[in-house]
């Protein structure tokens, strides 16, 4: 199939990309944030491997990231997102977090508009660093706990396009793009999909073929629209909840990363690897909770197997 070239559409060279969140042990979004020096340490590591990073919200952490890139003159570009929260109830959320009071939903609508306004402000403050904008993350898929109506997502996209110069997208699991999000396609400048063979019980031998199938299904559905992968990765540990223990380990993570990177480079598909660093704040208190272990680096910033190379004498960081 013919794949749209990212550089041809937006005059930005196709390059390696990664999702970044710098929260370390004891830090939690909305409560405590990584410091300037911690973010600088992270980004000096990140720029050794990747050119583009994806940020999910317009909070204190993201502002620090943008400041570090500007002040330290780092060679990094950012896809910045507005994290929009529930504006309608979703009774299909499997963990029961999708039902909210009417008062909460009304407050959320106000907070979402504030978040969109922040995204507009940051996009116009850092136009040479922020190369694209996302109006939300996994807010329309059937299992989400922060459901937002498609019509409202379209309204947010149009608002961003009127107030900023960067291309605008919406980041979502590949499935809703095949039907539910069809009305959104015309509004966005490009489509952003998530694909996780590990969450869908695929073995490592099935993984890359499954990812290709996910991507091609959306690309073929909308042949005149650029499709970007904004999340794809492999966890290195699992407690067996949602992901079989035997499927998640550093060896399989390395295999998937290498196969994914090779395919995306050959086809010139912009793909954000999920993710740079492990995030200990996520999920349950179980240390083997898989949500905590998608990083290519451990929380202590040492590289996992995927970013190591072996010599005759020692293991070195790639």
- What pLDDT is recorded for position 315? 40
- Asked if 277 contacts 299 with a C-beta cutoff of 8 angstroms, the reply is yes
Cis peptide before 37 (omega within 30 of 0): no
- Asked if 278 contacts 235 with a C-beta cutoff of 8 angstroms, the reply is no
Beta strands in 174-256 (DSSP E): 191-194, 227-232
Nearest to 132 by CA among 54, 226, 69: 54
Split at pLDDT 50, 70, 90, the class of 314 is very low
Which range marks the domain in which residue 292 is found?
Answer: 6-317
Report the alpha-carbon distance of residue 133 to residue 155 in Å, rounded. 14
* H or E segment to which residue 153 belongs: helix 150-163
Q: Count Cα atoms within 13 angstroms, Cβ side, for 57.
A: 17
Would residue 213 count as lying in a domain?
A: yes
Split at pLDDT 50, 70, 90, the class of 281 is very high
43 is written with which tokens? 């980004």
Would residue 58 count as lying in a domain?
A: yes
Report the alpha-carbon distance of residue 231 to residue 91 in Å, rounded. 25
- Asked if 280 contacts 295 with a C-beta cutoff of 8 angstroms, the reply is no
Of the listed ranges 104-113, 152-161, 175-184, 304-313, the least confidently predicted one is: 304-313
For the segment 224-239, the average pLDDT, to the nearest whole number, is 97
Would residue 124 count as lying in a domain?
A: yes
- Asked if 13 contacts 7 with a C-beta cutoff of 8 angstroms, the reply is yes
Q: How many domains does the chain have?
A: 1
Whether residue 93 has pLDDT greater than 70: yes
- What pLDDT is recorded for position 203? 98
For the segment 236-246, the average pLDDT, to the nearest whole number, is 96
148 is written with which tokens? 């937002």
Whether residue 63 has pLDDT greater than 80: yes
Split at pLDDT 50, 70, 90, the class of 44 is very high
Any idea what the CATH number is for the domain that residue 107 is in? Answer: 3.20.20.80
Residue pLDDT, tens place only, 207-222 = 999 999 999 999 999 9
For the segment 76-96, the average pLDDT, to the nearest whole number, is 97
Would residue 1 count as lying in a domain?
A: no
Would residue 141 count as lying in a domain?
A: yes
Residue pLDDT, tens place only, 151-174 = 999 999 999 999 999 999 999 999
* Residues sharing a CB contact under 8 Å with residue 81, sequence separation 6 or more, in sequence order: 54, 55, 56, 57, 58, 119, 133, 134, 135, 136, 137, 171
Nearest to 115 by CA among 147, 144, 154, 156: 156
């Amino acid at each position: 199939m013919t794949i749209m070239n990212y550089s041809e559409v937006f005059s930005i060279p196709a390059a390696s990309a990664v999702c970044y969140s710098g929260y370390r042990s004891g830090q939690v979004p909305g409560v405590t944030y990584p410091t300037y020096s911690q973010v600088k340490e992270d980004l000096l590591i990140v720029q050794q491997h990747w050119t583009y990073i994806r940020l999910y919200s317009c909070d204190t952490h993201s502002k620090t990231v943008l400041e570090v890139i500007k002040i330290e003159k780092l060679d990094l570009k950012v896809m910045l997102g507005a994290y929009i929260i529930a504006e309608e109830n979703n009774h299909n959320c499997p963990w029961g977090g999708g039902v909210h009071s009417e008062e909460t939903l009304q407050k959320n609508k106000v907070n979402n508009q504030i978040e969109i306004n922040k995204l507009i402000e940051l996009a116009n403050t850092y136009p040479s660093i922020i190369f694209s904008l996302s109006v939300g993350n996994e807010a329309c898929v059937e299992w989400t706990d922060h459901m937002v109506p498609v019509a409202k997502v379209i309204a947010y996209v149009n608002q961003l396009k009127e107030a900023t110069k960067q291309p605008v997208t919406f980041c979502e699991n590949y499935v809703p793009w095949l039907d539910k999000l069809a009305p959104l396609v015309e509004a966005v400048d490009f489509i952003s999909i998530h694909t996780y063979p590990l969450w869908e019980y695929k073995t490592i031998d099935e993984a890359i073929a499954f990812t290709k199938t996910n991507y091609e299904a959306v690309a073929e559905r909308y042949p005149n629209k650029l499709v970007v992968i904004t999340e794809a990765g492999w966890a290195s540990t699992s407690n067996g909840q949602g992901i079989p223990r035997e499927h998640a380990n550093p060896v399989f993570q390395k295999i998937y990363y290498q196969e994914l990177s090779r395919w995306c480079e050959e086809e010139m598909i912009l793909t954000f690897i999920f993710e740079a660093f492990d995030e200990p704040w996520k999920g349950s208190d179980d240390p083997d909770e898989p949500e905590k272990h998608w990083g290519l680096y451990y929380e202590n910033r040492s590289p996992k197997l995927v970013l190591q190379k072996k010599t005759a004498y020692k293991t070195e960081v790639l």
